[in-house]
Amino acid sequence: MTPAEMRTAVRYAVFGLGAIGGQIAARLAAAGADVCGVARGATLDAIRSRGIEIRHPGEEPRRQRIEVADNLADLGAADCVILGIKATALGTIIDELASIDSNATVLTAMNGIPWWFFDGFGDSPVACRPPSVDPAGQLAALIPSERVIGAAVHTTGSVLAPGVVSCPAGGALKIGAAGSEGPAVSALPRVSTDLTLAGYEVETSDNIRLSIWYKLWGNLSLNPVSMLTRSPVDAILADPLARKFVMQCMTEADLIGKRINLGIEQPASERLTLTEKLGSFKPSMLQDAEVGRMVELDALLSSVKEIGTLTGVATPAIDALLGLSRVHARAHGLYL
């Protein structure tokens, strides 16, 4: 049976065709999926004329054509909308998200704490949601958790030019339904199959919040520190004092995680050792800063500080990092 015969008939719309969204869209389409996408400006023009170019190290570049538009509504109905955009852009696309079919599922392939993260936390202090995640509650109203498939994306990528993405072959995705019942639960097996056929190592999780928190645990300090120092991860971890500060931030976040039943058994030192094995790479926040894009401070760091406040966990290292990062980012036009 060919991959095209094995896959289920799901139409995907990928919102944001950058480093992550671009590679997901191209790889799904190459595997035979029905894929369209939303892009703007030069990226839209490039993909319309040439398709998405994917470059894997040691391989010839590959181009994949998909249907593309600058507005989600122009692409027609989709069964699954994949959000591959920056968290900073969410507030600007509320009207477009309102056009998503009420029966469609939404997969969040994004950094940080998403708007649906604390649905179902009952009387927990964080059930009200950290203010920076969804300030007016618009996202929760438009896309409730029963329609959401959460994802923790464990792959890297960078945009070399509009419509040109460099990324390693393979890559791992952990995905899971945000709710215990509803459309996302039904759609999860189909989406998992299609992403597997696209070449990802896919693991479905019964606790996708823990998977997202685990990824954030590593990103919340290394991303801002890389922006402040304009240095790749290996250079940061090679400095004993910088490494110690990163571990202090991770220790505070781990205490917060335990308060919200998302405790991580792995020591911070072990996680950083695993990160070192990835070699020299630039986190997404550094990539954004270098080209003048708004940085995801709220999704990656402000939200964690707010959860610490709500749960009574002191966060002096996280507070210091957030304050310095905000000053730096505002001075360079990277944060409002």
Segments making up each domain of the chain, as ranges: 3-205, 211-331
Tokens representing residue 183 in the block: 């459309």
Q: What strand order describes the sheet that includes 201-204?
A: 67-69, 34-38, 11-15, 80-83, 105-108, 148-154, 172-177, 201-204
Q: Give CA–CA dist 36/47, Å, rounded.
A: 11
Q: Is the pTM of this model over 0.85?
A: yes
DSSP code for 317: H
Average the pLDDT over 137-156 and give the result.
Answer: 93
Size of the chain in residues: 336
Percent of the chain with pLDDT over 70: 96
Q: Which residues are catalytic?
A: 215
**CATH of the domain spanning 211-331:** 1.10.1040.10
Decide if pLDDT at 96 tops 50.
yes
Averaged confidence pLDDT in the chain: 93
- Residue 133's pLDDT is 85
Q: Give CA–CA dist 199/201, Å, rounded.
A: 7
- Residue 5's pLDDT is 47
Residues in CB range of 67: below 8 A, 6 or more apart: 35, 36, 37, 75
- Identify the band that residue 170 occupies on the pLDDT scale cut at 50, 70 and 90: confident
**Nearest residue to 57 via CA among 222, 196, 168, 210:** 168
Q: Cα separations (Å) of 209 from 60, 119, 152, 215?
A: 37, 10, 9, 10
Residues 3-205: name the CATH superfamily.
Answer: NAD(P)-binding Rossmann-like Domain (3.40.50.720)
- Fold match between 3-205 and 211-331? no
- Residue 296's pLDDT is 96
Residue 50 near residue 63 (C-beta atoms within 8 A): yes
